[in-house]
């Protein structure tokens, strides 16, 4: 091998602030990265797959869900990760783009919010011991999904 670039990196193991499941669409990389930094996420185990959290909510194949769940579990096991951040974005090709929703951004956002809630429930059920946060990203900003309301409704259903 021939060395082409030199850098110094810490050799010590690290703890990850979060395992972050997000789409590989580069249009949203800068904005979402800045948001994660603002949220205090310094060390991230990034899991980038087409559709991001779609792989957990409505995967094309069950093996896609299992792959992402195993990556989250590996982050937890290897880097003591206690938090999972889920992301989906507007005009995502994995969902058929904005066109699938008749170019109706509100309809798309409503559907993707449901997807994020389903993905969060999947993670909570299949990866115990982690907190979950979910974000929808569009061309104007990052929107946090209220997962607490979903958890409360689920708890109420279980109590009855």
- Which pLDDT score is estimated for 95? 97
Helix axes 62-79, 105-126, angle to 10 degrees: 60
pLDDT at 152 over 60: no
Flag whether pLDDT at 87 surpasses 90. Answer: yes
DSSP string, 32-73: HHHHHHHTT--SEEEEE-TTTTHHHHS-SSHHHHHHHHHHHH
Task: Examine residue 6 and state whether it is found in any structural domain, yes or no.
Answer: no
pLDDT bin (cut points 50, 70, 90) of residue 159 is low
pLDDT band at 160 (very low <50, low <70, confident <90, very high): low
Separation CA 92–CA 16 (nearest Å): 27
Q: Provide the pLDDT confidence category of residue 75 given band limits of 50, 70 and 90.
A: very high
Q: Is residue 147 part of a domain?
A: yes
The domain tally of the chain equals: 1
pLDDT over 90 percentage in the chain? 89
Helices (H), the chain: 29-38, 54-57, 62-79, 105-126, 147-159
For 136, the token pair is: 């929808």
Is residue 46 scored above 70 in pLDDT?
yes
Domain that holds residue 94: 18-159
Strands 131-137 and 83-89: parallel
Residue 87 lies in a domain: yes
Sheet holding 18-22, edge to edge: 44-48, 18-22, 83-89, 131-137, 142-144
Structure tokens at 110: 């409503």
pLDDT score of 157: 60
pLDDT category at 151 given cuts 50, 70, 90 is low
Beta bridge partners of 72: none
Query: How high is the pLDDT of residue 81?
Result: 97
Domain membership of residue 58 (yes or no) is: yes
Residue 140 maps to a domain: yes
Examine residue 7 and state whether it is found in any structural domain, yes or no.
no
Domain assignment present for residue 124? The answer is yes
Question: What's the pLDDT at 156?
Answer: 57
Report, as an integer, the average pLDDT of 4-24.
94
Contacts of 82 (CB under 8 A, 6+ apart): 76, 129, 130, 131
**Per-residue pLDDT at 111:** 98
- For 19-41, what is the mean pLDDT? 95
CATH of the domain at 141: 3.40.1050.10
pLDDT at 155 over 90: no
The reply to whether 10 falls in a domain is no
Structure confidence at residue 154 as a pLDDT band (50, 70, 90): low
Return d(Cα 6, Cα 97) in angstroms, integer: 40
């Amino acid at each position: 091998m021939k060395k082409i670039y030199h850098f110094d990196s810490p050799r010590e193991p690290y703890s990850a602030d979060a395992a972050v499941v997000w789409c590989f669409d580069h249009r949203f990389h800068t904005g979402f990265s800045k948001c994660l930094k603002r949220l205090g996420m310094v060390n991230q185990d990034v899991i980038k797959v087409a559709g991001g959290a779609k792989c957990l909510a409505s995967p094309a194949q069950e093996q896609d869900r299992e792959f992402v769940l195993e990556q989250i579990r590996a982050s937890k096991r290897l880097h003591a990760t206690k938090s999972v951040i889920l992301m989906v974005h507007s005009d995502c090709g994995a969902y058929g783009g904005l066109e699938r929703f008749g170019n109706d951004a509100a309809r798309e956002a409503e559907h993707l919010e449901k997807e994020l809630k389903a993905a969060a429930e999947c993670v909570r059920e299949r990866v115990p011991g982690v907190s979950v946060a979910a974000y929808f990203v569009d061309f104007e900003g990052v929107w946090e999904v209220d997962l607490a309301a979903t958890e409360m409704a689920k708890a109420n259903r279980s109590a009855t």
